[in-house]
Amino acid sequence: MPNEWKIGKHKVKFDQKTGIIRVWINDDFSADDHDKLGDIYTEAYKGFDGKKYAIINLENATPLSKEVRRSMKDNAEKTMSFVDKTALVGAPGFVRMVAKIVSQFSGDKSSTLKKNEKEALDWFKEE
């Protein structure tokens, strides 16, 4: 099973020891990209027994289109079911705003915004 994937300009890595999927969003992220990411989560965690975490780096992300926001909102429950906790890191102001809206729609307390990966890793340890 691979532990690295590419979705267009975006990169995904899975660390089987820690159960952490790291996603780097670069430039535009489409609804199709979002669907492909779900497929990668399914593949990465197949047969994995342990806590599942995701760190989504938004440092180089551009504003999400209406189509993507709608897809994320519509699929929030399914997407969040893949992992126990998701941390969004490096988000510029406009992305933080959209991320908060998506989080509110999902009503999910297992996702949060963090400034950097270290804060995300510390949050994962809080149980």
At 32-91, the pLDDT tens digits run: 888 888 889 989 999 899 999 999 998 898 877 787 777 776 766 666 677 888 888 987
pLDDT band at 122 (very low <50, low <70, confident <90, very high): very high
Q: Which of 29, 28, 30, 23 is nearest to 4 (CA)?
A: 23
Instruction: Using alpha carbons, list the distances in angstroms from residue 43 to 10, 14, 70, 81, 88.
Output: 17, 10, 24, 14, 21
Give pLDDT, residue 10: 96
Give pLDDT, residue 22: 96
Counting beta carbons within 10 angstroms of the beta carbon of residue 6, is it exposed (0 to 12), middle (13 to 18) or buried (19 or more)? exposed
Give pLDDT, residue 105: 54
Compute the CA torsion angle 8, 9, 13, 19 (nearest 10 deg).
-80
User: 66-74 vs 31-45: helix axis angle to the nearest 10?
Assistant: 40
Show the domains of the chain with their CATH numbers.
4-118 (3.30.750.24)
Hey, which residues does 53 pair with through a beta bridge?
20, 85
Give pLDDT, residue 91: 79
pTM (global) more than 0.95: no
Give pLDDT, residue 88: 86
Residue with tokens 């209406």: 66
